[in-house]
Structure 1
Amino acid sequence: MAEFANFREFYPYYLSEHANRTCRRLHFIGSCAVLAIVALAALRGEARWLLLAPVAGYGFAWIGHFAYEKNRPATFRHPLWSLAGDWVMFWQILRGKVSI
């Protein structure tokens, strides 16, 4: 298992674990679903909706890894950096820096 001193070292590894386009697309869909769930919870004033956020986010991502990428999600080894990596990748997809 690779060890990383900081997020800057980790992120290229994170991207390499998301080489499959369908996996990246599923990550993006899951992140959009998380944002929609958070917005819904805020608009309705019902925090219970937030319980769905990790299910949606990880559900789409893990389908991408197990069915398309054929690897084990980095979340299992580096949970916080993987969460940060997912949002950095999401932002880079929006900006056209990472293709889907």
Structure 2
Amino acid sequence: MDISRHRFNSFAEFYPFYLAEHRDSRCRRLHFVGTSLVIALLAYTLASGVWWLLLTVPVAGYAFAWIGHLVFEKNRPATFQHPFYSLLGDFVMYRDMLLGKVDF
């Protein structure tokens, strides 16, 4: 069975799959950079009121992540099959990297 097409019943069930799709530290680091940019852009947009910057948020987040998958993981990002869980997984992995639960 192709796990990427599997229907996960919960995020707790999905997250181990998500981490397995991010085994290469270079890919995780690119995710970290992209997520950091997303957080910074959101904070700046809220503080400045320059609302058009919200258009750059998906580009900042996905560009780094997708390059990591294409160049280093050689797999298809989970975003395409599991968009909500994938987005949540990115922020949870970001937190886990900050806490030392997932290696940089």
Within the candidate set 73, 78, 81, 1:69 is matched to 73
Of all paired residues, the percent bearing the same amino acid is 54
Cα distance in structure 2, aligned partners of 1:15 and 1:2: 15
Cα distance in structure 1, aligned partners of 2:53 and 2:45: 5
Tell me the SS of whatever aligns to 2:103.
coil
Instruction: Calculate the TM-score normalised by the size of structure 1.
Output: 0.97
Q: Pairwise CA RMSD of aligned residues? A: 0.7
Structure 2 gaps, min length 5: none
Q: CA deviation at 1:2?
A: 2.1
Within the candidate set 35, 40, 59, 1:36 is matched to 40
Q: CA deviation at 1:56?
A: 0.3
Structure 1 gaps, min length 5: none
Q: CA deviation at 1:38?
A: 0.7
Aligned length: 100
Instruction: Calculate the TM-score normalised by the size of structure 2.
Output: 0.93
